[in-house]
Amino acid sequence: MKWIDLPQNSVPYLAFDIMEKNVGVVAAFTTKRYYRDGKPDDFYQPLLRPESDPEEVASCVQLLVSQFGTDREHLVSSAQKHMANIHLVDAGDLGPIEGRTQLEAIDGLVTDIPGVMLRTFGADCPSVYLYDPVRKAIGLCHSGRKGTQLHIAAKLLKTMQKSFGTDPGDVLAAVSPGICGDCYEVGDEVAEDFAADYRKDPLTGSLRCQSILSDILSKKTGRYHIDLFAAIFHTLRDAGIPETNIELPCMCTKCRCDLLYSFRAEGRISNENCAILMLRS
């Protein structure tokens, strides 16, 4: 993962080494920082919040789509509800926002249409990027605690297999920054709920041995911690993506709340980091 801050860009972003090697795809993760009228600002706003200025949010979104060579009519965002539902984006999902059918309770998006920018959000929850360079298809999902325990990344891949004929062995995968295992402390009930779902095989639904959780769930000073990065890695690997094709983040949203939005650090969601994935036209 690397920091990209070029003079011609209004929105600096984090990029993934595994994706940057492929000129056919744009994969980026925005932070708090951007340039307004040529001057740096520390409150990039990709989402409308109660305290947000709608015109400023619209301006931020326009800067992003323009930077990557598309437009708002080709921007499709998840309407995420911490579930594991996937939507196949087609021509009917494009065009003016006012004329679109709103996506409801969708945490994952897939498409094979060049120039369509998929977008998900998180303020501690990671996003998962999948790129099939052979079939020229992409998938992007919000993988918070609930989505991760339900193996949303495997469901994203399965949708790409069904829709585009994707071979998991061809897929390149990246996981965005999110809260790290050391920082993600949860109560007993949440840990037990996570374990009960995560033990189910992402492909068959059958129960796997308890040891599958050994790298993911730990107890420190009397409290459970969940390592979402490790959980997502195991899900992707078990779904057939080679380990060498999976890039994990080297940054925690809470540890780096100076740069990234973090619910745990701020105690509220002032805005969210934005994950984008797009096939180049």
Q: Which CATH superfamily is domain 2-279 in?
A: CNF1/YfiH-like putative cysteine hydrolases (3.60.140.10)
Alpha-carbon distance values, 157 to 87, 169, 207 (Å): 12, 11, 20
What DSSP designation does 93 have?
G
- Domain ranges in the chain are 2-279
CA angle, residues 82, 83, 88, in degrees to nearest 5: 115
- Taking 3-state DSSP, the helix, strand and coil percentages for the chain, each rounded to the nearest 5, stand at 30, 25, 45
What is the pTM (predicted TM-score) of this model? 0.95
Per-residue pLDDT tens over the stretch 155-214: 999 999 999 999 999 999 999 999 999 999 999 999 999 999 999 987 788 888 888 899
Residues in the chain: 281
> In tens digits, what is the pLDDT along the chain, a chain of 281 residues?
999 999 899 999 999 999 988 889 999 999 999 998 889 998 999 888 878 888 989 999 999 999 999 999 999 999 888 889 999 999 989 998 877 777 888 999 999 999 999 999 999 999 999 999 999 999 999 999 999 999 999 999 999 999 999 999 999 999 999 999 999 999 999 999 999 999 998 778 888 888 889 999 999 888 999 999 999 999 999 999 999 999 999 999 999 999 999 999 998 888 899 999 999 98
CA angle, residues 79, 143, 155, in degrees to nearest 5: 90
In this structure, the number of other CB atoms found within 10 A of the CB of residue 273 comes to 29
